[in-house]
Amino acid sequence: MNFRPILILVWLIIGYHAIAQKKAISHVVTHNRTTIICDAAKGENPYPAWGVFPKAEYPVRKITMHVTLGSPDSLNTAHWDYLDHIVLRRKGGAKGKALNYELGRMLTPYGSIYNKGWNWKWQVDVTDFAPFLRDSVEIVYVHSGFEDKTVGWALSIDFEILSGPPVVTPLGITPLWNKGYKYGDPNEKIEENLLPVTYESLGQAALSRIRIQHTGHGMDKPRGCSEFCTRWRELMLDGKVVDLRDMWKKCGDNPLYPQGGTWIFDRAYWCPGDLQQPDVIDIFTKPGQHTAALRMEPYTASSNIQAVENISAYLFHYSKPKQKIDAAVESIMVPNDEQRFSRLNPASSGPRISFRNLGADPLHSLTIVYGTKGFPAKTFHWKGNLSFNQVADVLLPGEIQEKDGENVFHVALIKPNGKKDAWSEDNEMDVVFTAPEKFPNEFVVKFLTNKAPQDNSISLINAQQDTVFQKKAAQLTALTLYTDTIRLAAGNYSFRLIDTAGNGLQFWAQPENGDGYLRIFDLKGNLIHAFESDCGVGEMFSFKAVPGFEMDTTKAQYAFSLYPRSVVDQTQLNVVSNKQSDMTVRIKVDGVLWQKHEYKAVKNAIFNYDLNHLPKGRIIVEAFMDGISQFKGRINKK
């Protein structure tokens, strides 16, 4: 007998298995700076594109979908917060079966204040759809809205595929509820359409995973449903409540800020400028017939009936977890240069990470080894009780060490539950972060309170988490300028502005709160840092204090204040800088230029603008310093 072909086959199988266990990352880009615009006549505009994904036999551990919106090359940036859907239309080529599975849900930002070159990147885990992200796949980005064709977005969609052994075996999918359901309508109650779904759990299936994308829209009376009303939702399986939550989301902490509209207003489970993270509910089930049901809080509107609950939900059938002990690093939030973590960085201390339990056994302990590459590693022993597919968020002790400029931070998970991890390739992660900038150790802080100082506080904290300077809300008086000279020892610090109301020191749609600011100057009176007043819940600035260090005054620093922004007749622009610049101010209404003003040698100045002759609409005031746009502010004329 010739054993050679059999041996070759055995070695191929062994070799393929070995390769499958090794970590490898590949990318499939379906949309690459595709210009997307509204179709005002239809209210939505689909943008289909094909991608070639791995073959069916390729081992997929995780798929992350990255979505980027930017300013388009040939148009102005779009403005409105529209609901967009990212849909897996079909696989297997143009003749493949239509699937129309929603992979992600994008709520576009208010983009009118963003210039050329701006972009923002979000991400969401779409591993549940891995069986369908195979071979040729059509991905459709459905852009909704009614803006004209002079504005749009540059869209990119990138699927990041991590190869490796699947955590569970996928066994099928059951679509549950996928449409916009009327809410509060006395003539068409939501429970009449949002009906229970009965499904069969096969013999090998042990896990039912329900994945829900859900946003509320419309503005009825008396509660402003569904966009601006809180309401609860409960998910039931076989008559038992397995998930109950308030369908409400706070928006003042959005990493993408400021925006040109009402971005800080809390909403019905979504915020402008956000790729929604789906709700994922895992229920271990036995073979046989089951019933899933979704119930909304009972409600009846009195007038302007238009509320809609936009829901897409799928049930994924899985085997039980393949391994008992299996942990994975989910993310490193601090330190990290990624945009989604921008409110937390740069930071001087307190690394923050998250990890997920992918094993069947509850995770009770593991060792975390962490630190900046090039410096001694630190160790932290975590203890807890983490069930399957749940995530732990861990604040690690110690200062974040760094060299000037770019650094790499490393995290490794060791000995989960004191045992060997089933697949160690996702137990480590590296991220890039930039060291906090050097700053003088002596400077002057100027803090102008607005009309609601009870919402605000400021504090300066060192790397040991000691507070070295602060002004609490109880110490503050409205419309008061506080000036303090700060002298620090060498080291890393974080300066924090907190607004408990989530509307910053100034917000264009709430002129009644007034206009405040927080700015830092050197001892010679030069501006060296300005906090963003339109900052929602607040802002953090981290730096390395260096005795004798002087800021480069040849590099321009600017601070602007435009107030009021909800106007009848006039507004005022305040400019503070560290150097003289020629300045041009352009005032546009819905993209049309109405006023242009030019000034020479501006450093610190106040300018008043008469807006009486301007029409009502979205007014943008843009300031150019030495020919470069440095400020764009939104005004609404009543």
Q: How confident is the model at residue 532 (pLDDT cuts 50, 70, 90)?
A: very high
- The answer, yes or no, to whether residue 5 has pLDDT greater than 90, is no
Confidence of residue 65 (pLDDT cuts 50, 70, 90): very high
| Whole-number average pLDDT of the chain | 94
Q: pTM of the predicted model, to two decimals?
A: 0.94
pLDDT digits (tens, 9 = 90+) for 199-241: 999 888 999 999 999 999 999 999 999 999 999 999 999 999 9
Predicted confidence at residue 3, as pLDDT, reads 36
| Cα–Cα distances in angstroms (integers) from residue 362 to residues 369, 417, 556, in the given order | 21, 9, 54
**pLDDT (tens digit, 9 = 90+) per residue, 75-84?**
999 999 999 9
Buried residues in 110-149 as b, exposed as e (16+ CB within 10 A): bbbbbeeeeebebbbbbbbbbebbbeebbbbbbbbbebee
**15 falls in which pLDDT band (50, 70, 90)?**
very low
pLDDT at 356 over 80: yes
How far is Cα of residue 546 from the mean position of the Cα atoms in its chain? 33
**Count of other CB atoms within 10 angstroms of residue 499:** 24
Residue 19 banded pLDDT, cuts 50, 70, 90: very low
Q: What is the phi-psi region of residue 288: left when phi exceeds 0, alpha when psi lies from -120 to 50, beta otherwise?
A: left
The Cα 10–Cα 30 span in angstroms is 37
Query: Which ranges of 406-484 would DSSP assign to H, the alpha helix?
Result: none
Of the chain, the percentage scoring pLDDT greater than 70 comes to 97
Task: Please write the tens of the pLDDT for every residue from 586-622.
Answer: 999 988 999 999 999 999 999 999 999 999 878 999 9
Q: What is the mean pLDDT of residues 158-176?
A: 97
402 to 344, 350, 432, 605: CA distances (angstroms): 17, 13, 11, 39
Q: What is the pLDDT of residue 591?
A: 84
- Distances from the Cα of 158 to the Cαs of 123, 338, 494, in angstroms? 9, 16, 34
pLDDT band at 11 (very low <50, low <70, confident <90, very high): very low
Summarize pLDDT for 133-150 with one digit per residue, the tens: 999 999 999 999 999 999
Asked if 221 contacts 306 with a C-beta cutoff of 8 angstroms, the reply is no
Q: Which two three-digit tokens encode residue 1?
A: 């007998």
Neighbours of 237 (CB within 10 A): 18
User: Which residues, other chains included, contact 115 with Cβ-Cβ below 8 Å and sequence gap of 6+?
Assistant: 71, 77, 629, 632
Mean per-residue pLDDT, 408-422: 98
Number of residues that this document lists for the chain: 638
pLDDT surpassing 90 at residue 7: no
Give the mean pLDDT of 336-356: 97
Tell me: pLDDT of 307 over 70.
Answer: yes
Q: 23 falls in which pLDDT band (50, 70, 90)?
A: confident
Q: Indicate whether 17 pLDDT > 60.
A: no
Q: Distance of alpha carbon 106 from its chain centroid, rounded?
A: 10
Q: Is the pLDDT reported for residue 244 higher than 50?
A: yes
> What's the confidence (pLDDT) of residue 566?
86
When mean pLDDT is compared across 90-99, 375-384, 425-434, 454-463, the lowest value belongs to: 90-99
Say yes or no to pLDDT of 634 above 70.
Answer: yes
Q: Say which amino acid occupies 551.
A: M
Which pLDDT belongs to residue 6? Answer: 34
- Tens of pLDDT, residues 90-143: 999 889 999 999 999 999 999 999 999 999 999 999 999 999 999 999 999 999
